[in-house]
Amino acid sequence: MQNVATDENWKTSFSQLAPGLVLFARQWARSAADAEDIVQEAFVRFWKKQHDVSNRGLLYATVRSIALDFLRRDSRRAKRESAAMSDVDQGVEPAFEIEDDSQRALVAALDLLPVEQREVLTLKIWNELTFAEIASALGISQNTAASRYRYALAALKKNLPAS
Partner 1 sequence: MNDFSELENQLRKLRPVQPSSDLVNRVECALTEETSSPTAGVLPRERKFHFNWLSLGLGVAAAAALLMFAFLRFQQPIKKTSTIASASPGPAISTNNQLVPSGLTQVVYHTRDEGLQFPGNSSQPMRRVRSHTRETLQWRNPKTGASLRISYPRDEVSLTPISGQ
Question: Can you tell me the distance from the alpha carbon of 29 to that of 71, in angstroms, rounded to the nearest whole number?
Answer: 8
* 59-65-67-70 Cα dihedral, nearest 10 degrees: -130
With CB under 8 A as the contact rule, the residue among 27, 29, 53, 66 that binds partner 1 is 66
Nearer CB in complex with partner 1: 96/143:
96
12 near partner 1, judged by CB under 8 A = no
Minimum CB separation of residue 12 from partner 1 in Å reads 11
3-state secondary structure of 74: coil
4 near partner 1, judged by CB under 8 A = yes
Which one-letter DSSP state was computed for residue 124? I
CB-based contacts of 117, cutoff 8 Å, min separation 6 = 148, 149, 151, 152, 155
Binding site for partner 1 (CB under 8 A): 3-5, 10-11, 14-15, 18-20, 22-23, 32-33, 36-37, 39-41, 43-45, 47-49, 55, 57-58, 61-62, 64-66, 68-70, 73-74, 93-98, 102-103, 106-107, 121, 125-126, 136, 138-139, 150, 153-154, 156-157, 160
